[in-house]
Structure 1
Amino acid sequence: MDKEQELEWLEAQKIVISKDLVAAAKQQLQFLETIDRNRCLYEGSVLHRAIYRYKTYWLPLVAKYNNSQDLEGPLVVPLDCEWVWHCHRLNPIQYKSDCEKFYGRILDNCNVLSTVRGTCKKQTEEIWSRLYPGEPFELDMSNCFPESIPEKILKDSEGIKYDLVSAVKRQSPFFYQVSRPSMQSDIFLEQALARYKGFLHLIKRNKERSIRRFCVPTYDVDLMWHSHQLHPVSYCKDMVEALGKVLEHDDVDSDRTKGQKLDVGFSETTKQWEETFGLRYWRAGAMYRGSAPRALIVTPYTSKYISKEVVPPNDYQEVIQIPKAKYVEVFLEIVGLRNIPAGHRGSFFVFFSKKQPDNFFNARRRLNIFSESGEKHVAAFQCEPTGELFFELMSHSGSNLLISRTAKIMGTTSMSLRDLLDPASGLSLDTWFELATVSGTHSKPISMHIAVSLTVPVTAPHVLHMIHSRPCSMSSCFFPLPGRVQHAKNWTCVVDEAGNDIINIQMRDSRKLEAINNCCSMKEVIGIVGSGGSYVLAESVGTKWSLMDSHWSFVLQRTSSEGDHLFELKGNRMVKLFSGRKLEYEPKCCERKASERDFLTAVEFSLEDPYGKAVAMINLKSGIVKVNEEWFVLPGIILAFVLSDIFRKAGYDSFLASGENIKGVTVLSEDVDGCNEGGGMEQKTGIVKEVQVDEAQKSSTVVPEKGGACGGCGSGCGGCGGGSGYAGTVNEVKVEAQKTNMAVPENGGACGGCGSGCGGCGGGSGYAGTVNEVQVEAQKTNTAVPENGGACGGCGSGCGGCGGGSGYLTKSGGCGGGSKNVSKNGGCGGCGGCGGDSSDKLAQK
């Protein structure tokens, strides 16, 4: 900032705030967190009852006793009344007017404590019982009904007319915006207080200059503003002294669409702030973070479990060791340049990177310069809070298409991330840097104005990759897709983001359990760590799985309770698994291309989080497991491994259909002996006269009849996989909803194929037969209906190897991303392999 801007900032900091807003902000966040665990107070009958109690009981009690000399200590406000009082005070002008109208003065909270602070409520309860003998002090939030609110209270023309229901609705989303780790940091909050004073200073300047401007705060400023308003007497006094009036808090507008009041106001506030103070208005950790994720359940889960430190059995204490990493969020803007050499021609931009790339940020990214482009460009990224950010000033001329060839480095500079985390920095820097020139000398060094802001470091989630350990023809690959077969003798290696081996796991038959249960389908999961130690991580007993010596357990049955979760994982915590990406993993608009059926979200429910807290996300397609909580790392790995095995047996779509078989379609849950080494994944014969599928979208539906043996190589990761071979007849198939990959063969001989291999052959299908009639009444994809064929098959859909091909009415199938019709052999293609040709010409080997 220049001298004038520095004086403006110093003048802003002279504004007097008579309350400790840093402490008040922390108390407010604690209170809002408690309210968020009682979301029945956001709407409905509980909210109406709370408003009634607030107006009828709490305000009169405060008016009578708040300044009483008879009190031995502060009053304690009931939680429901405190929430309504909170929202009422956040319209300071309306609150002041209501209090003065009905009680002759502003009712303050100077001698009132929040119930969430754990203070003694005995004195207040005694006063409450004496004044209101028929009304309990604590509201039973599980037993409130609309009819319990006296109708005359709702229509009372003499009462407070301010729409408190709407006020609560407007304030309910606020907690999500401020529930970030930085908001708990003293360094961050001290800077927020200074910025709040700067915000008030802008409003003061506008008033002095008769400028009508809708000033919009960032969320760190807004947190301080709310904290100030919650002390109504102090707020009114401080505002009158600073601005000459009580500042209104307009929270009615929520439309952030470009060109609307909120968007225009924020743009104008940003411009005025930066012109007045020479500092950036944006701040990492303080900006709008989008709408809150959708809730999983409507009513809170009444769990007996309270989140606490989980101590696993001694044998599992040291099973896996994963380095803990931290990251920060960074906002970066290149504001301007000065001392450009005379006679220089061309435009400028900046490359920025880290001198020591890390797992979060290892790129070299381009950023335009505000003074050059005339548009604000702010880069947002995550990185480890170590090392240095490195900047290269680039000059280029000519067409944008030739930038990479014509650009040259004019100078470089760097900044230490560790220095930015020093408390003295306030987690931000907004200043000029002299550049070290690459060549030539200048009378004055080129300088670049760089603005950067950080959040406080937080522990990063563990990101684990499940990779098949068996070598394959091209390369290794991620864990196989659900619905396909994994070789029982292969190991799966789990590695972290840096590629370090964490553990190797394997599914195998449990002879011990077979002997006990006299059953041939018992399984166990074995884990081997780098030290050579071997552990039985999980065992199945019937439909029940026991993890880590019965420390956790879950049953292979989809539940039908609210929230539509698939499994419950039980231990000394309660974890439910939901299909798709939920809560904090909920995809943004730009991420919705991925199929939600590929994901599972593990959500913990407890007294602390009755609406659920996401602890992990499992990507069944790529084999990636993201774990937020340290205690869930090993259970998360085991779950990802076991559930993939479950889905490939039961069929993913069939399982999602409430765990029941699709009508008329048999789903096998057992492996077929010998299916993994070139044998078929499944062998089926049977007769189906008519099949009607009335449910929603189904995938890979197979309806065979009257056939000989058929099969293929299934779901191999590193080999052949996922193929299906069928022979039979189908008289009629009616499909009344969207279907994918429908294969309906008839009257054929043996057929088969290699499928879905990752790194090898994959995804192909081979069919032979006839179909009398197929009625498809909605959108279909990749429907294959062959007739009267001989043996056929194909290799397909491989990633890193041969993929995606299909061969029909052929002697042999093909490898690769194309279709070969009426040919001897298929073609090569796929992802990472050869070709991708889709020619129909006759092919030779």
Structure 2
Amino acid sequence: MNKDQETAWLEAQKVTISEDLVAAAKQQLEFLAAVDRRRWLYGGPLLDRAIYRYKACWLPLLAKHSECGAADDSLYVPFDCEWIWHCHRLNPVQYKKDCEEIFGRILSNHNVKSSLQGKSKHEVEEKWSELYPEEPFELDCSTTFSGDIFYQYTGAGSSITYDLVSAVKRQSSFFFQISRPWMCDNRFLEEALARYKCFLYLIKTNQDRSMKIFCVPTYDVDLLWHSHQLHPLSYCNDMIKLLGKVLEHDDTDSDRSKGKKLHVGFDKTTKQWEDMYGLRYWRAGTMYRGHCPSQVVSSLYFSSHPDVNEIIHYKSEATLELPQLMVIEVLLEIVGIKNLPDGQKGNLYVSFSKKKPDTLFSDGILSIQSESGNEHRASFKCEPTGELILTLMSKSNSKIVPSMPATTIGTTSISLQDLMNPKSNLSIEKWFELKPHGGTPDSKPVSLHVAVSFTVPVPAPFELRMFKSLPLSTDTCLLPFQGKEMFRSWTGFLDHNGDEVIRLQIRNVKKLKERNNASKREVVGKSKQSRKPCLLGEYADNKWSFNGYNISLIEKKTSQGGYTLEIIGDHMMKLFLGKKLEYEPKCCDKRNGKEFITLVEFSMKNPYGKAIALFDMKSGTVEVNEKRFVLLGVLLALILKNIIKRLGYNALIPNIKDTKGISSSNVLEPVERNSKDIDSNSSLAATAAGIGTGNVEAPIMTVDCVLGCGDKPKELSSLKSSGCGGGCGGGCGGGCGGNCGIMSGGCGGGCGGGCGGCGGGCGNMIKNDGAFSNKVAAGDKSSSCGGCGSGCGGGCGGCGTNIISKNVNTLDNTGNLATA
């Protein structure tokens, strides 16, 4: 950052914002999470009803309330009306126009409280009932309406012609993009506010120079922009003071393909931002995440009232006390190099690694942007400890000796502990002097211009690997065997450090009175906390019951000869074949078949399901997102492995010829069921194939992406990718673009084209997503496709304005996808 750039940044921080946008952003995140639990507001007849209530009832009530001007008289907005109001305000120019044409002024949110804030709304409900006696204050998803009531009230707002259905559709995916644990962190939001001010100042600069550029925000900036617009009067006043007019928020473009308005705009915004402020525009944890995951159910499993989530805490004699790893997302760029000796020959690149082992991190390499002319970025997850080591390498251009090994020029390090300082602004960009390799240089030391950003630390998932312990083999015996245990086969589970945390065994019960009951079994376990084997579960009459968890797993034989697995108990859970919800592949992951099983929990907080565990039955690994489910996760992993061993994978897949809803592409569609028919206290049938009595997604037989993520090329002369065909098929929209090879090593963070240039190809740069199943269990140290990279890079914020500029550069100058 030079003097002019530093001055521009300081001037940007003087932009006036009349509202506390950090607090407003937190409130918005809470509200959008509540809306996402009521997805009937995303479309259908209840959305139409909500829009009618908003126009005919809420806006007239709001106008009357604002006329009174009572300072202490708070008005609560019905939840469904609040959602429509939210979407209407996110087109500030249209909202201002509608309000002024109908009510003569902008209807502000001053002294209006969210439905989530109010515990006592009696006065407001009484006022509502006086005005609209036939209309309930809160709209329930199970409510039915007659046509006579539907058009009974014709308030002034009913004349609004703005297409609110389309506005809702455009906003319905926004929550997925921003629903990340660091988005509500104060430090993250304070930095986002500073960047939002710079974003507005960039627009002002363009306007002053008569430059018409479509500027596109990253998602941290977009969250603050939305929060500002939700205060319509303040937003209008602030924008008129800054720009002389109300800044438009254009969210109508969603095509992220190369060459389209959104892509071009984000590319120009990135360049202009970096020229004006001397800082990178891309930020870790703020980029496009890809398309929303597919739903596993299409209607609520819980009533939307009350809006609480009762967490059941389980207790068991054998608890698993595992260390909680923390994880950060990192975005790394090598911007430039200086003081390189004239005699230095060869292609330059930078390898990055960590000084100490990191279970979430894989080494990678990056080109130097000033040397290659291409923008390459590495996005990865790692523990927020230790040092990041950067090594400058040179590969000979010699045609005579093409296999000559790369030469190390020098190294430098970045302390992650220093970056985690509470006073850090979550990024660092400066020149780093390299320590020369093999002696002290005669000239100035070579320096690298490095830009790195990161998120605040959040808890990492628990990852465990299953292995079969042979008692008499000392190399696998981590927990000591005693007595008869030495002659029994046990299954152990290793944590991320390779330490055995629990050992389980399924054995037949041979009690005197039950000698003829061959189907009765039990699972026992021992851990470091409880070295004496204890009973964890029992199997009888085709049902597994787990001690400490009021949950049972039932095997049911189908008429087609297959088996279904049904979970019953206090907690509502289902098993689905393949990677679902949070685990759904974002791009070219070819391994999403029957070897994966996802455990999904349904609750009032997550009525459409939350993936809490992923079982990789081929490699014997399990990933669990919450500590309270770790023990249940390893128990289910062992039992599922046992079932597959006895019955095979095919026994868990129903006969698709006898299943309704089969499309021509062999995709089984969800079975529709009215949400009012669902008893919130009933147990959920959960089948290993994903087929139950409700509207549950059946197994999907995916067509693999047409790509060739192969071995790392022997030549390092080109840092492009090398092997990722022409695209990821329909699932990824425009495809993975680019190639695979040196530059990326898992699917570098997402898909290109249709997914908005979200990441890169496949290969070696981002080896994998840190999944234990890829690195430890499978022993995958190659540069083949090791899973999807952590975080999407090339996508943009999804909104823009007609005065602004650029969609992040996800492509290098040769047309290959850069990783991000």
Give me the TM-score of the superposition, normalised by structure 1: 0.72
Tell me whether 1:246 sits opposite 2:275 in the alignment. no
Separation in structure 2 between the aligned mates of residue 11 and residue 90 of structure 1, nearest angstrom? 27
Structure 1 distance, partners of 2:407, 2:192, is 40
Residue aligning to 2:786: none
Is 2:578–2:596's contact at 8 Å kept on the other side of the alignment? yes
Match of 2:583 among 582, 585, 591: 585
Distance 1:491 1:176 in 2: 42
Tell me if the contact between 1:76 and 1:112 (Cα under 8 Å) persists in the aligned partners.
yes
Distance 1:255 1:283 in 2: 21
- The answer to whether the 8 Å contact 1:52/1:149 transfers is no
Name the CA distance, whole Å, in 2 between partners of 1:356 and 1:320: 26
Q: Which residue of 2 aligns with 1:200?
A: 200
Paired position in structure 1 for 2:100: 100
Q: Which residue does the alignment assign to 1:525?
A: 523
Report if aligned partners of 2:579, 2:592 keep a CA contact under 8 Å in 1: no
Q: Distance in 2 between matches of 1:145 and 1:261?
A: 42
Q: Give CA deviations for 1:181-227 in whole Å, capped at 9, x if unaligned.
A: 11011111011011111111111111111111110000000000000
Query: How far, CA to CA, are the matches of 1:524 and 1:305 in structure 2?
Result: 39
User: What does the per-residue CA deviation read over 1:605-650, in whole Å, with 9 as the maximum and x for residues that have no partner?
Assistant: 1111111111101111211111111111111111111122223334
Q: SS at 1:227's partner residue?
A: helix
In 1, are the aligned partners of 2:76 and 2:112 still within 8 Å (CA)? Answer: yes
More moved, 303-312 vs 24-33 = 303-312
Measure the CA separation in 2 of the matches of 1:211 and 1:393: 40
CA deviations on 1:386-442 (whole Å, 9 max, x unpaired) are 001111122343159978735322222111111111132211111111222233434
In the alignment, the residues of structure 2 paired with residue 36 and residue 398 of structure 1 have an alpha-carbon distance, to the nearest angstrom, of 55
SS of the residue corresponding to residue 429 of structure 1 reads strand
Q: Kindly indicate whether residue 622 of structure 2 is the aligned counterpart of residue 611 of structure 1.
A: no
- Superposed, which structure 2 residues align to 1:27-66 within 5 Å? 27-66=27-66
Q: Quick one: distance in 1 between partners of 2:240 and 2:70?
A: 32
How far the C-alpha of 1:357 sits from its partner, in A, is 2.2
Match for residue 595 of structure 2 among 595, 598, 617: 598
**C-alpha displacement of 1:340:** 2.5
3-state SS, counterpart of residue 465 of structure 2: strand
Partner of 2:625: 628
Q: CA deviation at 1:339?
A: 2.4
Q: Which has the higher contact order (CA 8 A, sep 6+)?
A: 2
Aligned to 1:296: 296
Amino acid of the residue matched to residue 289 of structure 1? R
For 1:638, the equivalent position in structure 2 comes to 635
CA-CA distance at 1:322 after TM superposition: 1.9
Q: Which amino acid aligns with 1:315?
A: E
- Structure 1 residue 498 corresponds to structure 2 residue 473: no
Deviation at 1:102, TM superposition (A): 0.4
Aligned residues between the structures = 649
Q: Residue by residue, what CA displacement relative to the aligned partner does 1:763-785 show, whole Å, maximum 9, x if unpaired?
A: xxxxxxxxxxxxxxxxxxxxxxx
Report what 1:313 is aligned to. 315
Alpha-carbon contact 1:565-1:579 (below 8 Å) kept: no
Q: CA deviation at 1:338?
A: 1.8
Separation of aligned partners in 2, 1:201 and 1:146: 51
User: Given that residues 493 and 504 in structure 1 are in contact (C-alpha distance below 8 angstroms), is that contact kept between their aligned partners in structure 2?
Assistant: yes
> Residue 522 of structure 1: CA displacement?
0.7
What is the alpha-carbon distance in structure 2 between the residues aligned to residue 102 and residue 549 of structure 1? 61
Q: Per the alignment, in what secondary structure is the counterpart of residue 424 of structure 1?
A: coil
1:343 and 1:398 map into 2 onto residues whose CA distance is 13
- Matched letter for residue 201 of structure 1: Y
Matches of 1:206 and 1:529, distance apart in 2: 64
- Give the deviation of 1:111 after TM superposition: 1.1
Cα-Cα RMSD: 3.2
Q: Secondary structure at the match of 2:535?
A: strand
State the AA in 1 paired with 2:252.
V
Distance 2:666 2:293 in 1: 25
C-alpha contact (below 8 Å) 2:426/2:455 kept by paired residues: yes
In structure 1, distance between residues paired with 2:307 and 2:20: 36
Provide the rounded CA distance (Å) in 1 between the counterparts of 2:503 and 2:263: 52
| Alpha carbons 1:465, 1:494 under 8 Å: kept | yes
Q: For 1:125-144, what aligned pairs fall within 5 Å after superposition?
A: 125-144=125-144
Distance in 2 between the 1:607 and 1:400 partners? 65
1:467 aligns with 2:433: no
Aligned-residue offset at 1:580: 1.4
CA distance in 1 between counterparts of 2:219 and 2:446 reads 35
- The Cα of 1:239 is off from its aligned counterpart by 0.4
Partner secondary structure for residue 452 of structure 2: strand
Confirm or deny: 8 A CA contact 2:170 2:251 kept in the other structure.
Answer: yes
Residues 1:537 and 2:536 aligned together: yes
Asked whether the 8 Å contact 1:565–1:578 carries over to 2, the reply is: no
Q: How does 1:75-474 map onto structure 2 within 5 Å? A: 75-144=75-144, 147=147, 150=150, 159-302=159-302, 307-313=309-315, 315-316=317-318, 319-363=319-363, 365-399=364-398, 405-438=404-437, 439-470=439-470
Comparing 600-609 and 404-413, the one that deviates more: 404-413
* Cα distance in 1 for residues equivalent to 2:520 and 2:86: 57
Q: SS of the counterpart of 1:116?
A: coil
Q: How many Å separate the matches in 2 of 1:217 and 1:631?
A: 38
Asked if 1:547 corresponds to 2:517, the answer is no
Note the 1:790-829 alignment, pairs <5 A: none
- CA displacement at 1:582 relative to structure 2: 0.6
Decide whether aligned partners of structure 1 residues 491 and 444 sit closer, same or farther in structure 2, where only a CA change above 3 A counts: same
Alignment of 1:648-659 (within 5 A): 648-657=645-654
**Cα 1:658/1:427, change in 2 over 3 Å:** same
Quick check: 2:523–2:537 contact (8 Å CA) kept in 1?
yes
Q: CA deviation at 1:454?
A: 0.7
Percent of aligned pairs with the same amino acid: 52
SS, match of residue 97 in structure 1: helix
Aligned to 1:687: none
Q: Would the alpha carbon gap of residues 313 and 181 (structure 1) be closer, same or farther in structure 2, given more than 3 Å must change? A: closer
Give the 3-state SS of the residue equivalent to 2:201 in structure 1. Answer: helix
State the 1:341 CA deviation.
Answer: 3.0
Q: Supply the distance in 1 between the matched residues of 2:250 and 2:154 (Cα, whole angstroms).
A: 25
User: Residues 102 and 156 of structure 2 are in contact (CA less than 8 Å); yes or no, is this contact kept in structure 1?
Assistant: no
Residue 145 (structure 1) shift: 5.7
SS of corresponding position for 1:415? strand
Of 642-651 and 79-88, more deviation after overlay is shown by 642-651
**2:56 touches 2:158 (CA, 8 Å); kept in 1?**
no
Could you give the per-residue CA deviations for residues 465-488 of structure 1, whole angstroms, max 9, x where no partner exists?
111113899x999xxxxxxxxxx9
- Which ranges in structure 1 are unaligned for 5 or more consecutive residues? 478-487, 663-694, 698-737, 739-830, 833-845
* CA positional deviation for 1:568: 4.2
Which secondary structure state, in structure 2, belongs to the residue aligned with residue 610 of structure 1?
coil
**CA displacement at 1:134 relative to structure 2:** 1.2
Q: Secondary structure at the match of 1:597?
A: coil
The unaligned stretches of length 5 or more in structure 2 are 478-486, 660-664, 668-700, 702-777, 780-820
- Paired residues for 1:629-708 under 5 Å: 629-657=626-654
| Structure number, greater radius of gyration | 1
Q: Is the 8 A contact 1:392 1:412 kept in 2?
A: yes
Q: 1:68 to 1:200 in 2, by over 3 A?
A: same
Q: Which residue of 2 aligns with 1:482?
A: none
CA contact (8 A) 1:558 1:658 kept: no
The one-letter code matched in structure 1 to 2:273 is W
Instruction: Return the offset for 1:656.
Output: 2.3
Distance of 1:26 and 1:210 partners within structure 2: 35
Kindly indicate whether the alpha-carbon contact (under 8 Å) linking 1:431 and 1:450 is maintained by their aligned counterparts in 2: yes
CA shift digits 1:321-352 (9 cap, x unpaired)? 32221111110001111222345444422111
Query: What amino acid does structure 2 have at the position aligned with 1:313?
Result: K
Task: Select between 570-579 and 205-214 the one with higher mean Cα deviation.
Answer: 570-579
Counterpart CA distance in 1 for 2:402 and 2:113 is: 63
* SS of match in other structure, 1:335: strand
The alpha-carbon distance between structure 1 residues 533 and 93, as it changes in their structure 2 partners (threshold 3 A), is same
